[in-house]
Amino acid sequence: MATAKQRDSMFTGIITDVGTVQSVTKTADVDYVIRTTYPVAEIAIGASIACDGACLTVVERDADWFKVSVSQETLSKTTLGRWGPGTRVNLERALKVGDELGGHMVLGHVDGLAELISVTPENGSHRLVLEAPADLARFIAAKGSVCLDGVSLTVNEVDGRRFGVNIIPHTWEVTGLGDRAPGDFVNLEIDVLARYVQRLHEML
């Protein structure tokens, strides 16, 4: 569950901007104004943008920012409730017909939260070890794909509920993953194909 209003948008997990939360307003939902380098005039009201991996709907925009409204249900299932002014947010606009599928198929529906256990520099890259919720760990396999805070990554190894990923220098620099520290939680979306394979296996 990523938004109060489910949408049919699709993403690839390739971050194209890191926005900054400019303001937070609490009403029945919570409204976030996010500053971005996107050409905002080209973004339609009602468009979908993945924000730290959660598919959200643009409800207002101006020269260099857009606003999204997040329901209490979404806040309870993602890290979005911890955003405040100054928080950096991984952004990806929804795919259009003909766009390159650079990462893997991402729906923007956060499945749960993974805890960051360790961050280890490794020859210019960074090795991250995370722990998935028990009900999601079975969908994570070595050499498979996961989406962490909106970033498409390949799983290196799996040990029970824990799994490791490697962040290359480019990804470290152009996403907000470098802001995370051990003990933090990140939004986790498992590979939708893994879910279907597991479901088929259960039916056999």
For every residue of 97-151, DSSP letters joined together read: TT----S--B-S---EEEEEEEEEEETTEEEEEEE--HHHHTT--TT-EEEETTE
User: Is residue 5 domain-resident?
Assistant: no
Mean pLDDT throughout 8-31? 93
Q: What CATH number does residue 77 fall under?
A: 2.40.30.20
Q: Which residues partner with 159 through β-bridges?
A: 162
CA atoms within 13 A of residue 74's CA, in its CB half-sphere: 25
> Is the same domain home to 119 and 179?
yes
For the whole model, what pTM was predicted?
0.90
> Is the same domain home to 65 and 129?
no
Contacts of 196 (CB under 8 A, 6+ apart): none
Q: How many domains does the chain have?
A: 2
Tens of pLDDT along 124-154?
Answer: 999 999 999 999 999 999 999 999 999 999 9
User: Is residue 137 domain-resident?
Assistant: yes
> Is the same domain home to 116 and 180?
yes
> Is the same domain home to 187 and 121?
yes
User: Is residue 7 domain-resident?
Assistant: no
User: Is residue 39 domain-resident?
Assistant: yes
Residue 78 amino acid letter: T
> Is the same domain home to 85 and 118?
no
Pairing mode, strands 112-122 and 185-190: antiparallel
Structure confidence at residue 95 as a pLDDT band (50, 70, 90): confident
Q: Considering 93, 122, 148, which residue would you say is the last residue of a domain?
A: 93
User: Is residue 8 domain-resident?
Assistant: no
User: Is residue 3 domain-resident?
Assistant: no
User: Is residue 1 domain-resident?
Assistant: no
Give the residue, 171 or 105, on which the prediction is more confident. Answer: 171
User: Is residue 32 domain-resident?
Assistant: yes
Residue 59 per-residue DSSP state: E
Q: Nearest to residue 96, comparing CAs of 42, 18, 34, 152?
A: 42
Residue 199: give the domain boundaries. Answer: 112-203
Q: What is the percentage of the chain residues whose pLDDT exceeds 70? A: 87
Phi first, then psi: give them for residue 144, nearest 5 degrees: -85, -175
Q: Considering 93, 122, 143, which residue would you say is the last residue of a domain?
A: 93
- In this prediction, residue 2 carries a pLDDT of 43
Q: Would you say residue 107 has pLDDT above 50?
A: yes
> Is the same domain home to 85 and 117?
no
Helix (H, G, I), strand (E, B) or coil at 175: coil
Contact 91, 19 (CB under 8 A): yes
Residue 53 amino acid letter: G
> Is the same domain home to 140 and 67?
no
Contact 167, 107 (CB under 8 A): no
Q: Considering 64, 93, 122, which residue would you say is the last residue of a domain?
A: 93
